[in-house]
Structure 1
Amino acid sequence: MSTSMPARAVRLLAGLALFGVSVGLLVRADLGLASWDVLHQGLAARTGLPMGLLVNGVALVVLLLWIPLRQRPGVGTVANVALVGLALDATLALLPPVGALVGRVPLLLAGILLNGVATALYLGARLGPGPRDGLMTGLAARGLPIGRVRTLIELVVLAIGWLLGGTVGPGTLLFALAIGPLVQYLAPRFTAPAPVRPAPTGVTPPCPA
């Protein structure tokens, strides 16, 4: 049975909100940024432009990469840009910086796990991936394992960001290595069933086996 549109919308919004929370946890852990944020920070250091502006600029470039992959943006693509930042800012406002390492390590692990759950949730809503995840799903649609694709993208972005001067820490490497297998494991468990289309007029639908 297919999942209703309201249920898929709730899944999308919950996933995007949790994604913002997960990024906030990683920021407060202060043990290394996620790969894309290392790239954004490195670009900011090289150009002198605000990091937030570069986040949007990189998203636009990534969307252009969708064209040869025949990916189409959806409601989730737009919502990704609007909601994740709000959830991130709210998390940082509510969660003060943590000084002790014994408190930062659990934040790091929770942030990575929550990021995997959030990604699986909003991708599973089937309402359009975010710009960066659309690149991942587009490549996976060409027959590549989604876990390997995600890991490869994270490592390439991480390397470029580090060469540009972005901050890399142990949490960065752990995120890059763990997020692909996490998404690969969780995505099938959070994916909404595809909508069932009615049979054309005059055609008798097949009986269930």
Structure 2
Amino acid sequence: MGDTHALGRRLPQLFAGLGLYGASMALMLRSGLGLDPWDVFHQGLQRVLGLTVGAWVTICGALVLLLWIPLRQRPGLGTVANVLMIGAAMDLTLKLVGAPQGLPARIALMAGAIVLNGLASGLYIGARFGPGPRDGLMTGLHRRTGRSLRLVRTGIEVTVLVAGVLLGGTAGVGTVAYALAIGPLVQLFLRWCTAPAAPETAPAAPDTAVQTPRKG
């Protein structure tokens, strides 16, 4: 009974978190003040090759997931849902929400999007259905290379950020604000959003240093 009740919470929480994550990414884009490193890359691909930004979120997520194979990473339900849902939620939000007028409105939208992203990350990570593809790439490289998580994550994000800027993606104050705020926000929301483990298993607290969000 307890397992059924927990699953009844965790599944909706997972899907709500992923949907809100895609929406928050779209709001960041609409603010026009800069994106997180991966989305700078996705936007750059969209500007050079066409398709939508959300489509590139999905395509890149699937390609990164393929890199799990040599790293011997195992995807969970949350990993697959991450690939399928976030880009679609982003494109849907972009169709519904236009760009705000005036700098104060853009700053407010950027700030709200970052907070929403923190909440969304807490929801989907706290549902405990597995990391997103980009987080799994980071942890897999950490395990195979022996390098610190901080170094591996920084290397990946600097690489995609530079590539995205070269492709024409938007980096700016929002990029810096996201980098500074998202870790503390995710840690805060995880306190409220982490679903309890089944009684027969030892509770495992999410590793916020590992899973501080990447579309997964």
TM-score normalised by the chain length of structure 2: 0.74
Contact 2:44 2:168 survives alignment (8 Å):
yes
Structure 2 CA distance for aligned equivalents of residues 27 and 73 of structure 1: 28
Greater Rg by CA: 1
Distance verdict in 2 for CA 1:86–1:49, change over 3 Å: closer
Residue 30 of structure 1 is matched in structure 2 by: 32
For structure 1, which segment, 150-159 or 15-24, has the greater mean C-alpha deviation from structure 2 after superposition? 150-159
Contact 2:58 2:87 survives alignment (8 Å):
no
Distance verdict in 2 for CA 1:15–1:56, change over 3 Å: closer
Contact 1:30 1:104 survives alignment (8 Å):
yes
Residue 169 of structure 1 is matched in structure 2 by: 172
Give 1:144 shift.
5.2
For structure 1, which segment, 24-33 or 2-11, has the greater mean C-alpha deviation from structure 2 after superposition? 2-11
* Corresponding letter in the other structure for 1:105: I
Residue 105 of structure 1 is matched in structure 2 by: 107
* Corresponding letter in the other structure for 2:91: D
For structure 1, which segment, 30-39 or 148-157, has the greater mean C-alpha deviation from structure 2 after superposition? 148-157
* Corresponding letter in the other structure for 2:183: G
Map 1:78-93 → 2, pairs under 5 A: 78-93=80-95
Q: Secondary structure at the match of 1:4?
A: helix
Identity score, percent = 51
Aligned residues: 196
Distance verdict in 2 for CA 1:190–1:93, change over 3 Å: same
Q: Does 1:178 align with 2:155?
A: no
Cα displacement string for residues 29-80 of structure 1 (whole angstroms, at most 9, x for unaligned residues): 111122112112333455x353555433322331133235443112222222
Structure 1 CA distance for aligned equivalents of residues 200 and 85 of structure 2: 31
Match of 1:18 among 8, 20, 24: 20
Distance verdict in 2 for CA 1:184–1:68, change over 3 Å: farther
Give 1:21 shift.
1.6
Contact 1:44 1:50 survives alignment (8 Å):
yes
Contact 2:21 2:120 survives alignment (8 Å):
yes
* Corresponding letter in the other structure for 1:119: S
Q: Does 1:62 align with 2:64?
A: yes
Distance verdict in 2 for CA 1:140–1:125, change over 3 Å: farther
Residue 206 of structure 1 is matched in structure 2 by: none
Return 5+ residue gaps in structure 1 as ranges: 199-209
Structure 1 CA distance for aligned equivalents of residues 170 and 200 of structure 2: 49
Q: Does 1:40 align with 2:42?
A: yes
Q: Does 1:194 align with 2:213?
A: no
Residue 129 of structure 2 is matched in structure 1 by: 127
Distance verdict in 2 for CA 1:140–1:186, change over 3 Å: farther
Distance verdict in 2 for CA 1:151–1:22, change over 3 Å: farther
Give 1:103 shift.
0.5
